[in-house]
Structure 1
Amino acid sequence: MNIALWIAQGLLALTFLYSGAMKSTQAKDALIAKGQTGIAPFPVPVIRIVAILEILAAIGCVLPWLTGIAPVLTPLAAVGLALVMIGAAIAHSSLREYKQVLGVNLPLFLVCVFVAVGRFAGW
């Protein structure tokens, strides 16, 4: 179980570090052109705030548990990312992008829940 949780944590960290880095450095039109269409309804400052939160949560998915310093932050980071995925699913649904919701948002949400439940149980 521990190995599966570490794999899931690594997957979340890589995914959200990449997503956060893109959202924090690229123009809104460039992001939409690259497939991050869920940001379309939001102003740039909101996109930048979400980017920072994604980067911090990605770090929080791995570093606290790895170091043993405040390990409760790892499942809390996973909960935060699950909330981001709920917001993303709502945004994509409003754009009628149901394939994105089922193909990306839901699986990532489930990985977030897996990490949160697994690490809360081990804390």
Structure 2
Amino acid sequence: MNLALWIATGLLALIALVGGISKSCVPKEKLAEHPAGSWVGDFNVKFLKSIGFLELLAAAGLILPAVLDIAPILVPITAICWVLLMLGAIIVHYRHGYTKPIVANIIYLTLALFIAWGRLGPMPFTG
């Protein structure tokens, strides 16, 4: 179970890292060129960069607290925050009629729920 939680956490952290880098570093116009990227037109650059920054924080928050053994409770808290972020992403993608990103968002949301459940329940870092 611990191994499964670490694999899920690493995968979700990688997804958050890639998303965060792309939203933080790629120009808005380039993001909009992506096949499912027209949603970026609804938001200003500062908002997109903020989402990217939150995703970068999520990548760090999923891994570093446990690895460094500094406030490992932040791992499931970060996972819960990721669930909220994915709910927002699902709403935005739904409004634009994108189904493939919604499927991915649901998978990411499920991974985050698994991490939160596992680290708050049967496999906490402390105890």
Q: Under a length normalisation based on structure 1, what TM-score does the superposition of the two structures give?
A: 0.92
**Structure whose CA Rg is larger:** 2
What corresponds to 2:119 in structure 1? 119
Q: Kindly tell me: are residues 112 and 43 of structure 1, through their superposed partners in 2, closer, same or farther at Cα, counting changes over 3 Å?
A: same
> Structure 1 stretches of 5 or more lacking a match?
none
Q: Does 1:61 align with 2:62?
A: yes
CA RMSD of aligned residues (A): 1.3
Counterpart AA for 2:96: L
Q: Under a length normalisation based on structure 2, what TM-score does the superposition of the two structures give?
A: 0.89
What corresponds to 1:50 in structure 2? 51
**Bigger shift: residues 31-40 or 92-101:** 31-40
Q: How many residues align?
A: 122
Counterpart AA for 1:13: A
What corresponds to 1:76 in structure 2? 77
Q: State percent identity of aligned pairs.
A: 38
**Bigger shift: residues 39-48 or 28-37:** 28-37
- The Cα shift of 1:68 comes to 1.5
Distance in 1 between residues matched to 2:35 and 2:4, nearest whole Å: 29
Native 8 Å contact 1:57 1:81 kept in 2: yes
Q: Kindly tell me: are residues 80 and 30 of structure 1, through their superposed partners in 2, closer, same or farther at Cα, counting changes over 3 Å?
A: same
> Higher helix proportion, which one?
1
Native 8 Å contact 1:41 1:91 kept in 2: no
Distance in 1 between residues matched to 2:6 and 2:81, nearest whole Å: 18
> Structure 2 stretches of 5 or more lacking a match?
none
